Amino acid sequence: MNTIALLAGRLPRWMLVVCAFASLAAASLRATDDAGLVIYRNGDLASYGVAGVPPVTGTFTLSITAPKGPDYTGGKTVTLTNTVLTSPVVENEVALGYVTFGAPTLTFTAAGETKSVEVTVTIPKEALDNEITSGTYSYAVSTTGWGSGVLPGSFRIDAAVDATLPEDGFKPVVSISTPADGSSYTLASGSMTIPFAFSVIVNEGRPMVEAVSASFGPQDGDAASMLPVALTSEGVGTAAVTASGNITVTKAGTYTLLVTGTNSIGTAYASAHYTFTVGETTPPTVTISSPAENSNYTYRTGQAPVEVPLAFVGSSAITTITNLTVTDNGVALTYLPTGLGTATAAGNVTLRYSTAGTHEIVVTATDANGKTATATTHFTVNVVAPTPTVAISTPLNGATLTLPTGFTTLDVDYAFAAASNNGFVVDAVTAVLGTTTLSPTLVNPGTAAVTGSGTLTNLPSGSYTLTVTAKSAGITVTDTVSFTIVPATTLPPKVVINSPADGAVFYRMPCGPAASVPLSFTGTSRTTGAVITGLTATLDGSPVTIQKANLGTASATGTATLSVCSTGTHTVVVTATDIYGTATATHTFKVDVTWPRTLVGEVFFDVDRDGRDDCADFGLSCVTVTLLNASNQVVDTTKTGCNGVYAFVDLVPGLYTVVATAPEGMSLTTCSPLKVRVDCWLEVAPDIGFGLDFAKIKGMTADGNTIGFWKNNLQKADACRTNGTQVSRTDLLRYTCRIEDFAFWPFDCLSLSTATSILSKSSSRPADLLAKQLLASEYNYQNGAYLNGNAQLTFAFLYWGEYVLTNANCYSSTYVLWAKDWFDAYNNSHGGAVNGPSS
């Protein structure tokens, strides 16, 4: 009989020990203390103790397991009964009240079912008296109601009390010094030895420790699995005992070490237990030799599934492999392993796939110690499939075909193309009109590109559906077109008068020529295959001679100029004829007599390109200006005068367009062409402005000379010397006088000496640098160095330079220097290109 003692700290003077005994044949009972420790297992002897100054109460849980034999099927209600065995002081009826059950009856529904009930043992002060100061209250707990053939089982409770003990008690205190509770060890080979040590101490030195013991076993095992451990002890028979021993472990797991110490106080004892885990350092290993990580396999549609060889090995350095499993994307694979039960086990599987996807292979090996290891590899199965196509090129989907006039059927050609890719071929092509199978002529059948054609003969009017199907590697694609054949229809042609507009008004001068009215019309056949065969026109009922264009085609045009002298409303009628009829159109127009109008306007040089004709700008002469009427016909062309003004006279009222031709080296800064309505006797058109276009000037030629050239000639002319000069003093004086009054005022009061001074300046101010180059450019202009030989353009170029210099404070330094660079390029042209800076 095994005895397990529990002690929490030092024992007080008064102590209660509850001992339990069970010997069950079929039903079994076990107890658990209120701290959760199992102390009764399958009827083995165990004990439960509490201590303290009376009254003393102890509570534990009693578990009862129904029989498992064939004679018991469950469905029983069992009653707990308690019998007093010994009672040293009080009557048995009183002693029975010291033990209470949480539930006196329990109902079992199945064999082997376990039920629990809370048991409370309370020993009051009245359990002892002055004459009897110690003793044991014993009880027998049993169960009834199982039925015949079932042993009810029994359970014994012994409560030993002794009022003569000192309050601090003599019960031993047990403590384990090593290993620490919850210690973890590593199993490096087949077995390992773990040393332990503990001590047993009795308070106040009495009674002495009589015996120590230790046992060891799995944490979740029963009492039978707890094996005794040999001890080496010192001090047995004294109040302080030390003991040690060794535990041998051969398998990983969680174990319980239980040590006890017993003194001479009856059945008193104490115990302590610790838990530690033994781990395995060398788990098994798993190796996947095939497929390699991130391998790729290709399945071609229509062929046998692609094969993926899977090979793997599980091994252990310290024990045997007991299981070797493999999954593919979490799904277990079935295979026949080799080597299970040995240190090395292996597996080989041939996997077959015909669908695309990424796969994760996980191999798990388990050894005899319950340790596992896994290995993972990934591979991808790619499916190469063709993407066949088929397209009907003719007839077009939704086409409407018209029977020729006089015919009741029509032959319709059809054509299509089928293709495949990724190394596949077009295996088959079929064509169906409605439900009728066709026999097209195929070109390159059995290749990746197949074309087909044929003729659908003698089709009457109606709706048709043509379907072509192509197949490649079992993949089928189709193309369908629908078309309609309609009977022949005939429509007469149509004719449209383009000009004059219906209700238009034309003018002529008193005693002037007849009004000119432009006539234009178009005749169009509306029946397929028809052509315009004739065009006619009349004015107020009289035939008009017209010019005919494109007769014999589906669209023809007639034109004429009508000269009309009489005022009033006039009617023009035109016709267009084809084989299916004649179309007619009519417009009216009016001719009035009016006095002549005049249109005037100005073309100006826009020096700052702001689109406004302001005080700094001037009129451009010799600019070509063209006047167009509402029909976009040229009415007149003229040139601007010296002040930039132009005039058009003898105009009739109406809407006109004014177009000015850009002078060389310039571009528009205002709107053009201008739309102008002439109503008054004198109409003024908006001004048209042109400014310098440096992109056009860049690359023009000029015969310019540098600053040094002009400074040398001016210095010698100022000193009245002639040696080494290229320009006479007389010419320089004339040039200087003209420059002084050229445009603005930067060179006012200019003389030979002041000109030399300006050209000799060493200042780096942008305005001073521009003044030097500009002055040299003006001498070049006076000397006849024109841009592309164009004096007016060169004048405008220098005019712009003086405007920038005069208003240098209004421009950025960058712009002033950019202007300086243009005159520098002009001065360095020497008869070549003027390569000024880019914009």
Which range among 371-380, 509-518, 639-648 shows the weakest confidence by mean pLDDT?
509-518
Residue-wise pLDDT tens digits, 89-98: 888 888 888 8
Looking at residue 16, its pLDDT comes to: 35
Query: DSSP readout, 757-826?
Result: HHHT-----HHHHHHHHHHHHHHHHHTT--BTTBHHHHHHHHHHHHHHHHTGGGS-HHHHHHHHHHHHHH
pLDDT of residue 74: 72
408-431 pLDDT tens trace: 899 999 999 999 999 899 999 999
pLDDT > 50? residue 21: no
Phi and psi angles of residue 673, each rounded to the nearest 5 degrees, phi first:
-65, 155
Instruction: Give 670's DSSP letter.
Output: S
666 within 8 A of 793, measured Cβ to Cβ: yes
Q: Does pLDDT of 703 surpass 60?
A: yes
In the chain, what percentage of residues exceed pLDDT 90?
57
Give the angle subtended at the CA of 766 by the CAs of 761 and 771, to the nearest 5°: 50
**Separation CA 60–CA 560 (nearest Å):** 129
The answer for residues whose C-beta is within 8 angstroms of residue 179's C-beta and 6 or more apart is 185, 194, 196, 257, 274, 276
| pLDDT tier for residue 162 given thresholds of 50, 70 and 90 | low
Helices (H), 139-275: none
Q: Is 41 exposed, middle or buried (0-12, 13-18, 19+ CB in 10 A)?
A: buried
The pLDDT score that the predictor gives to residue 163 is 62
60-67 mean pLDDT? 82
- Residue-wise pLDDT for 729-765, tens only, equals 999 999 999 999 898 999 999 999 999 999 999 999 9
pLDDT at 632 over 90: no
Asked if residue 466 lies in contact with residue 478, where contact means CB atoms within 8 angstroms, the answer is: no
The terminus-to-terminus CA distance of the chain in angstroms comes to: 115
- Give the DSSP H or E segment for 709: helix 707-718
All domains of the chain in start order, with CATH: 15-162 (2.60.40.2310), 173-280 (2.60.40.650), 285-384 (2.60.40.10), 389-486 (2.60.40.650), 494-587 (2.60.40), 597-692 (2.60.40.10), 696-827 (no CATH)
- State the burial class of residue 609 (Cβ atoms within 10 Å of its Cβ: 0-12, 13-18, 19+): middle
pLDDT at 205 over 80: no
Which phi and psi angles does 552 have, rounded to 5°? Answer: 90, 5
Predicted local confidence at residue 679, as pLDDT: 86
More confident residue, 788 or 104: 788
Please report which helix (H) or strand (E) contains residue 193, including its range.
strand 192-201
d(CA 773, CA 710): 11
As a whole number of angstroms, the distance between CA 484 and CA 401 comes to 6
Give strand pairing partners of 451. 417, 443
Residue 7 has pLDDT above 50, yes or no: no
Predicted pLDDT at 418: 95
Q: Are 641 and 602 spatial neighbours (Cβ–Cβ below 8 Å)?
A: no
* pTM, rounded to two decimals: 0.40
The helix, strand and coil proportions of the chain, stated in percent and rounded to the nearest 5, come to 10, 50, 40
Question: Residues of the chain with pLDDT > 70: what percent?
Answer: 87
**CA 235, CA 241: separation in Å to the nearest integer?**
4
pLDDT over 60 (residue 32): no
Encoded tokens for 356? 């695309």
| Top-confidence residue, 173 or 309 | 309
Residue 701 CB neighbour total at 10 angstroms: 16
Cα separation, 652 vs 516, whole angstroms: 12
Residue 826: the pLDDT is 98
- Residue 440, pLDDT score: 96
Confidence of residue 206 (pLDDT cuts 50, 70, 90): low
pLDDT (tens digit per residue) in 459-498: 998 999 999 999 998 899 999 999 998 887 778 999 999 9
Average pLDDT over every residue of 137-146: 84
Can you tell me the mean pLDDT for 145-163?
74
The answer to which of 4-8, 181-185, 679-683 has the lowest mean pLDDT is 4-8
Q: Which amino acid is at 452?
A: G
Closest to 665 in 3D by CA, of 693, 623, 699, 625: 693
Give yes or no for residue 442 having a pLDDT over 90: yes
The one-letter amino acid at 508: R
pLDDT number for residue 263: 78
Strand (E) or helix (H) holding 715: helix 707-718
- Return phi, psi of residue 524, to 5°: -135, 130
Beta strands in 283-371 (DSSP E): 285-290, 295-300, 306-315, 321-328, 331-332, 344-353, 357-367
Residue 785 has pLDDT above 80, yes or no: yes
Kindly tell me if the per-residue pLDDT of 171 is higher than 80: no
Residues linked to residue 180 through DSSP beta bridges, in sequence order: none
pLDDT in tens, 567-618: 899 999 999 999 989 999 999 999 988 888 899 999 999 999 999 999 999 9
Mean pLDDT for the chain overall: 85
Strands 99-101 and 154-162: unpaired
Containing 173, the helix (H) or strand (E) segment is strand 173-178
Name 15's bridge partners.
51
Q: Is the pLDDT of residue 24 over 50?
A: no
Highest mean pLDDT among 51-60, 262-271, 787-796: 787-796
Longest CA–CA span in the chain (Å) reads 170
Q: What is the pLDDT of residues 547-565, one digit of tens each?
A: 999 999 999 999 999 999 8
